[in-house]
Structure 1
């Protein structure tokens, strides 16, 4: 029997596996206790439920829900890579399907489903300390991965805010006046020097305006400004 998983639903394939598991156990129990019917003795084995027959039961039991789209068929590939149909049921719906099974099978599978429900409510129940630590670490890794993805999205999509835009403006002004101190004739073309630096920023970072520079590029932007050199033609006084 498959290991219990922390989940709120069960597929018709998984339910089929449990039904047949306990049908076989019921047959073995009856054979051991001499309570097999003549038909069961003659057959020599338990009656295995086929998936297609379970699907018929589900369609009959939940006809309204299926017609209303509350339960939708899903597809999976069988061992021959053929597309087949299955349903995903809530644990409550799975119990309802079992009403057509024998008392032995129904009781056993419902007990299995109730353990699934308990796992959903308390995933750490019946786990050893080591298992709990492993699960906790796995959950921490999932959270860290989600945080990394969010931070990466922020870095790649968030533009500089107003305060960061002012940092860029201040850095541009500082650099322009540094260049004017070194080459005084640039003062004659100061307007065009500013335009040249902002144009180079747009080209450098592939944006329509310095306001569109990504936050992750702010440090590179400020470093670029601090070492920027104006085009040679701007050093000629008007």
Structure 2
């Protein structure tokens, strides 16, 4: 049995669960701990730390490709969770954790850990982008008016520039111009501005920006 999260000495609740059930079986204990029960233990044990944001819930995808919660703990926190296990299980896993703490990383292990961290970052970014997309699709009358106005100007720009292959970059450029003009951090904030001023400004987009500035 090997613990895999060795890059920053953090252990996932899934890895802790695997170790607990492995050594429970060795001990002759047929009671298998379920992940949702382990999460209850972690939430109870670290209620204060979770409330303060010192320990954050993360997510993984199960065999059905459904998003499920999990925690990443330091080795010290993992040992604290194990207090509720039998002496046999506790001593066996603590020994594994101490080996983990003292084990130097190979180049391959560093690369694996880096890829895992990148996957987590990508997953979080995808979740954020999906959330933003869903917010933009909410039925806001003013929002839709702005979207239609921008779309109209994009197609006018395409005809003027005789370029029908770069629609996406035009949308991005015009929205960036709109955000800069009205001092907002993101597109969904534009709806909070005065609609008349926004639509009037969009109407100046008939010519390409480089022609208007000439």
TM range (shorter): 0.3 to 0.5
TM superposition score normalised by structure 1: 0.43
Q: From the CA coordinates, give the structure whose radius of gyration is larger.
A: 1
